[in-house]
Amino acid sequence: MKRQTLGKSELSVSTITLGAWAIGGWMWGGSKTKDSVRAIDACLDHGITSIDTAPVYGFGHSESVVGKAVRGKRNRFEILTKCGMRWEEARGEYYFTTNDNNGVQRDIYKYSGKESVIAECEASLRRLGTDYIDLYQVHWPDPTTPVEETMEAFQVLLAQGKIRAAGVSNYSVDQMEAASRVIELSSNQVPYSMVRRDIEEEIVPWCLENHCSILAYSPLQRGLLTGKITPDYPFSPGDSRPDTPHFKINNLIRINQFLDQIKPLAAEKGITLSQLVIAWTLRQPGITVALVGARRGEQVKQNAGAMEVQLSGEEMEMINLKLGELNLDLR
C-alpha cells in the first residue's frame, strides 16, 4: 500500500483509508460490531493502516468500535477523527434532527468553540482508548464561532501532544485561508467522486498551491458507484441514502447506465467496478487519499486492491468522456 504525507506535517497515512461512518451504523441501517472489528483487523493484512472516524458516527459508537479493534496494536494504525458536531446541548448552529441507533431523537449542532473542541478531544481519546489522535479535523464549519478561535484550540492540543496534525473537513477556500493564519493546515476532507466534482473549481487549486492534502470522502458515492444499487435495491430501515440527490430514481438510472459503459474496462482488467472507480479517483489532481467505507473484511480486501490498478491516459480519457455525457439533476 502506498503512503502519503499530509500537507507539510510529518504524518503519513495509507493512500486508501478506511472510512468508519458506516461502522457507526447511524444513517446506514445499522452495523454489527463483530463484523466491524473484523473489517478493521483485515485492514492491516492489506496495507490499510489509517482509519477515519468521528464522534457523531453512531453518537460515539464508531469511535468505540475503532478503539476496541486497535487495542493492543495502536502503534500500527493512524487514527483520524473529528470535532464540531454536538448533540448533547443546543449550542452553535442547528444542523438537523435524526434518530440514533436506538431510535432516540437527537438534535445535531455545528459548534466549534475553543473549550468545546478541547472537551471533545478528551472524550474521543477516551472512546478510542488512546492518548493521541494522529489527525484531528473540524467536521463542519461552525458559522457561530470564528475559525481563528477553533484553530486556537487545535494549537493547544498540538502543544499538549494530544493530536499530531490539524485538519478540517468541508471547509471553503476562505475558511482554509483563515485557519492557515493560525496553524499549519495539513488537510481538508471533502466529498469527491466521479459524479460529484465541484471541488475541482476552487478547493483543489488552493490545496495544490498551499500544499494542503485533500482527503476525498464518499468516492463511491455511498455505494452507488459499485454498480450494486439498482432502482429496486432493498434499503434497510434508517438508511438515509434514498433521500439524497444522487439516489433519486432518474439520477440512479443514469449513473447505472454510465457504469454499464465502463464495466467492460473493469472486466478486461479483471477488477471490480469499485476498484476501477477508486483508481480513477486517486489519479485526479490534488487528491491525496481516498476514504472508502467497509463493514466486512472482504470489502476491505477489494478496496485495497484498487492500489494495484493501472489506468492509461487513453483509459482515463474514455472514462472522462462518458462522465461528460452524464446529465444529473442534483437539486
Phi, psi of 82 (to 5 degrees): -140, 175
For 41, other C-beta atoms within 10 Å of its C-beta total 14
Per the CB < 8 A criterion, the answer to whether 281 and 216 are in contact is yes
Burial string for 240-272 (b: 16+ CB within 10 Å, else e) reads ebeeeebbeeebbebbbebbeebeebbeebebb
Lookup result for grid cell 487513453: 314
Bridge partner list, 12: 5
CA-to-CA separations, 225 to 2, 116, 191, 196, 274, in angstroms, rounded: 23, 37, 14, 11, 7
Q: What is the mean pLDDT of residues 34-40?
A: 89
Q: What is the mean pLDDT of residues 224-242?
A: 90
Confidence tier at 284 by pLDDT (50, 70, 90): very high
| pLDDT score at 217 | 97
| pLDDT score at 22 | 82
Retrieve residue 314's grid coordinates: 487513453
Q: Above 50 in pLDDT, residue 40? A: yes
Residues in the chain, total: 331
pLDDT, tens digit, for every residue of 154-179? 999 999 999 999 999 999 999 999 99
Per the CB < 8 A criterion, the answer to whether 142 and 148 are in contact is no
pLDDT, tens digit, for every residue of 72-99? 999 999 999 999 999 998 999 999 998 8
Q: Above 50 in pLDDT, residue 44? A: yes
Q: For residues 206 and 97, what is the distance between their CA atoms, to the nearest angstrom?
A: 33
Q: Above 50 in pLDDT, residue 227? A: yes
57, 111, 136, 171: which one is catalytic?
A: 57
The DSSP annotation for 268-291 comes to HHT--HHHHHHHHHHTSTTEEEEE
| pLDDT score at 239 | 84
- Residue 23 CA, chain-centre distance (Å), reads 12
Contacts of 66 (CB under 8 A, 6+ apart): 20, 23, 40, 51, 53, 79, 128
109 assigned to active site = no
pTM of structure: 0.94
Q: Which residue ranges form the domains of the chain, and what is each CATH number?
A: 3-222+273-311 (3.20.20.100)
Q: Above 70 in pLDDT, residue 213? A: yes
| pLDDT score at 26 | 54
Q: What is the mean pLDDT of residues 97-113?
A: 92
Q: What is the mean pLDDT of residues 280-289?
A: 98
Measured between its terminal Cα atoms, the distance across the chain in Å is 38
Confidence tier at 256 by pLDDT (50, 70, 90): very high
Helix (H, G, I), strand (E, B) or coil at 264: helix
| pLDDT score at 28 | 46
Query: Given 3-state DSSP classes, what are the helix, strand and coil percentages for the chain, each rounded to the nearest 5?
Result: 40, 20, 35
Q: What is the mean pLDDT of residues 298-320?
A: 95
